[in-house]
């Protein structure tokens, strides 16, 4: 044993001597180690600047809207530099909730009645300290719609509230039924296809602040709901403009993408469990109408929709629901200026399903596509804590719609 230990010590001593004196691999030395680090850094920087950092693609159905966006929203023409250490789509999607700050926002909650006897929770940020719009009667209002299981406390919603506050605007967040702590009074929740609750909310906002201009922003499923609403209403809406982030345009393609093994593991199963948790919280009122035990055994969003959502909203099959929930079929009927931001690498909304051709046929639509950004990611900067590319798009477009909205009339010219 002593002989083995001695031989081992001699071997390690000789190896250390060789590395220190012959190869010089110390990180701070002048040999191979430092050369490798510098070489890798240079190669990575070149790859990032050539293949990752790119200007977004702006597609619009008319020259007038395109020109308006380039003049009033310079962000649409600027190179998007994703955070260099996490530009991959899944990493951006997963990290955003953890690395971005959550600005402190104090809401005023309001519960309003729905036609079926249910209640809808609205979280208001009144911004009474606004200097640019001190009169609450005319203070512009921004309606915000969170994603599938999101609430007014999501970081991306809080960032948009903060941006609106800086502009002097009022915000109101439309929380889908049953997700923000309120009691579910009727056996009904929400889905991307049904816009009745959204119509109730918009009408309520308009009645409450008749003289104030209103615009809206929707994220993920909230964006899908907004797009479906605009497609149904045409010109019969009070919204002056809409911006949509990371919307899924074709639900069939979105669902298929999320059922791929890696994305099912990272996202699908988690979102399904979140949906089931909401159902479980309201089980006493829901189990009278639905087989909750069967719903709780779902393992994917598709299975959840087959067992719960499509049944709740009266669709013959889940495919009928998915077709009706896909905004791509209603884009031709949108009559309000709508800007849509999608990342080409978003696994929730795959690039081949982004409705480029449909957008080209409607002068009221514009589509901004970045090469990277993931799903509601769009992280940028060395440490993307305070602001994202998505935040900048929102702030510039909101300001343009509210302050230059007269230029957006009759975009078909």
Helix boundaries (H) for 209-250 = 221-233
Q: Pick the residue with more confidence: 118 or 36? A: 118
pLDDT tens-digit map of 313-370:
999 999 999 999 999 999 999 999 999 999 999 999 999 999 999 999 999 999 999 9
Q: Are strands 119-125 and 170-175 parallel, antiparallel or unpaired?
A: antiparallel
Per 3-state DSSP, the chain is made up of helix, strand and coil in percentages (nearest 5) of 50, 15, 40
Domain boundaries, the chain: 82-250+329-405
Strand 170-175 to strand 214-219: parallel, antiparallel, or no bridges (unpaired)?
unpaired
* Closest of 251, 267, 278, 230 to residue 377, by C-alpha: 267
Question: Can you tell me the distance from the alpha carbon of 184 to that of 282, in angstroms, rounded to the nearest whole number?
Answer: 6
Domain made up of 82-250+329-405: CATH architecture: 3-Layer(aba) Sandwich (3.40)
The sign one gets for the Cα dihedral 157, 161, 166, 169 is positive
pTM: 0.90
Strand residues in 267-400 grouped as ranges (E): 338-343, 365-370
Bridge partners for 218 per DSSP: 145, 244
Mean pLDDT of 150-166: 97
Using DSSP, state whether 31 is helix, strand or coil.
coil
Known catalytic residues? 220, 346, 375
How many angstroms separate the CA atoms of 66 and 339, rounded? 10
> Is pLDDT at 24 greater than 50 in this prediction?
no
Tens of pLDDT, residues 341-355: 999 999 999 999 999
The mean pLDDT of 18-46, rounded to a whole number, is 64
């Amino acid at each position: 044993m002593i002989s083995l230990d001695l031989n081992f010590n001699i071997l390690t001593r000789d190896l250390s001597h060789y590395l220190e004196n012959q190869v010089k691999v110390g990180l701070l030395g002048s040999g191979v180690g430092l050369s490798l680090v510098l070489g890798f850094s240079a190669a990575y920087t070149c790859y990032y600047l050539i293949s990752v950092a790119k200007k977004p693609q702006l597609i619009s159905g008319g020259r007038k809207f395109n020109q308006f966006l380039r003049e009033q929203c310079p962000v649409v023409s600027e190179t998007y530099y994703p955070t260099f250490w996490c530009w991959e789509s899944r990493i951006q999607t997963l990290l955003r909730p953890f690395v971005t700050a959550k600005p402190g926002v104090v809401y005023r909650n309001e519960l309003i009645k729905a036609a079926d006897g249910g209640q809808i929770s609205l979280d208001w940020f009144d911004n009474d300290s606004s200097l640019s719009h001190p009169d609450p009667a005319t203070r512009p209002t921004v309606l915000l719609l969170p994603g599938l299981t999101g609430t007014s406390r999501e970081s991306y919603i809080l960032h948009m509230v903060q941006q609106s506050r800086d502009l002097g605007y009022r915000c109101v967040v439309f929380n889908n039924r049953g997700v923000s702590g309120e009691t579910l009074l009727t056996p009904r929740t929400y889905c991307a296809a049904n816009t009745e609750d959204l119509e109730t909310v918009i009408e309520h906002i308009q009645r409450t602040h008749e003289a104030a201009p209103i615009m809206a922003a929707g994220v993920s499923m909230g964006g899908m709901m907004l797009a479906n609403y605009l497609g149904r209403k045409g010109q019969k809406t009070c919204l002056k403009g809409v911006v949509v982030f990371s919307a899924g345009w074709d639900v069939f393609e979105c669902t298929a993408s999320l059922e791929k093994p890696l994305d099912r593991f990272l996202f699908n199963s988690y979102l399904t469990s979140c949906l089931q948790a909401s159902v479980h919280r309201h089980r006493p009122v829901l189990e009278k109408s639905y087989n909750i035990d069967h719903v709780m055994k779902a393992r994917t969003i598709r299975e959840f929709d087959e067992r719960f959502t499509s049944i709740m909203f009266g669709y013959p099959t889940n495919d009928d629901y998915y077709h009706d929930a896909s905004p791509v079929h209603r884009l031709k009927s949108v009559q309000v200026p709508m800007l849509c931001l999608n990342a080409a690498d978003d696994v929730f909304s795959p690039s081949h399903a982004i409705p480029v051709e449909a957008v080209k046929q409607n002068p009221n639509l514009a589509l901004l596509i970045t090469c990277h950004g993931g799903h509601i990611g769009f992280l940028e900067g060395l440490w993307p804590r305070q602001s994202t590319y998505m935040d900048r798009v929102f702030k510039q477009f909101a300001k343009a719609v509210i302050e230059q909205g007269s230029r957006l009339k009759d975009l078909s010219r």
